[in-house]
Amino acid sequence: MAMLGAASLPACKRSDRVRVGSKNFSESVLLGEILTQHLRRRSFDVEHKSSLGGTFVCHQAMLSGDLDVYVEYTGTALVAVLKESPPSNDPDAVRARVAQGYLEKFDVVWLPSLGFDDSFAVLVRHKDADALGLAKISDLAAHPKLRPGFGYEFVERTDGWKSFADVYALHFDDAPTTMDLGLTYKALADGKVDVIAGNATSGLIDKLDLVQLEDDRRFFPPYEAAPLIRKQLADRRPEIAKALGLLAGKMTTKDMRAMNLRIDAEGEAPGDVARDFLDRLGH
């Protein structure tokens, strides 16, 4: 289906424009594009505010009314925003808790999951996994000379480096090198660091011959991806939430790895990848 151009959209007041946001990493930008194009194909006037920043930037933009919709992850919402411990590792329980907390505290509605879980993935080079016998995260404790490197947010978050190191009793000789999340994969592949915390849906895991270590102490909560919408807008224009609900359960982890690979390794534009995905869905 061809995407509707701006000229074919019905005339809308500025206040009717739906403002979709995304964080500053490729998967989030891709999801923002998918939501944006999906709504445009249904004749909504939509603006994509791309690559705004991290979780807290997008969250604050929702609270201030500068954003109407963006995709968040349940584990991130629970631990980083609500500052709560997971009630369990059950995805349904975590999703129910964040939905309740966001509605009560922020007047923000969680829509159904898009269908995939993008948990943190602790990664090492394949050759190091083989040479050092690394299969589980707990195996890292025996190798303090390994050099960790993490994204800024992982170092700062309560579900990030400090808690992670405590649970796994990790004491590396060097403090973690911090950098943009997107740079950590290449830094690992190039030998500049030895351990990173990437995303389970990254296409670079296979492309760069990396190995994901098992989270054997179940540190990371579920990170199901789902669109959020301001309740005020959802109440005033329920057709927006209804349209977004058509994407529920339509994206698998395999889908996301393949799409992320096209962006991160092959240099394709997120908008083009989003269009192809929606075309395949018939949306």
Q: Tell me, what's the pLDDT at 3?
A: 34
Q: What pLDDT, on the 0 to 100 scale, is given for residue 129?
A: 98
pLDDT category at 68 given cuts 50, 70, 90 is very high
- The pLDDT tens digits of the residues spanning 74-90 come to 999 998 999 998 888 89
pTM for the predicted model, two decimal places: 0.79
Q: What is the mean pLDDT of residues 108-123?
A: 95
Fold for domain 18-117+222-281?
Answer: D-Maltodextrin-Binding Protein; domain 2 (3.40.190)
- Residue 5, pLDDT score: 35
* pLDDT, mean of residues 108-113: 98
Q: Is the pLDDT of residue 9 over 60?
A: no
Do domains 18-117+222-281 and 120-212 share one topology? The answer is yes
**Please, which pLDDT band fits residue 270 given cuts at 50, 70 and 90?**
very high
Pick the more confident residue, 242 or 15: 242
pLDDT over 90 percentage in the chain: 80
Res. 14: pLDDT tops 80: no
What are the structural domain ranges in the chain? 18-117+222-281, 120-212
Structure tokens at 106: 């922020």
Residues 273-282 have pLDDT tens digits of 999 999 999 9
Q: Can you tell me the distance from the alpha carbon of 137 to that of 158, in angstroms, rounded to the nearest whole number?
A: 18
CA angle 181, 69, 243 (to 5 degrees): 125
CATH of 120-212, picked from 1.10.1740.10, 3.40.630.10, 3.40.190.120, 3.40.50.300, is 3.40.190.120
pLDDT tens per residue, range 129-166: 999 999 999 999 999 999 999 998 889 876 689 999 99
Q: pLDDT of 16-63, one tens digit each?
A: 899 999 999 899 999 999 999 999 999 999 999 999 999 999 999 999
Please write the tens of the pLDDT for every residue from 218-232: 898 899 999 999 999
Neighbours of 163 (CB within 10 A): 14
Q: What does pLDDT average to over the chain? A: 92
What confidence score (pLDDT) does residue 173 get?
A: 97
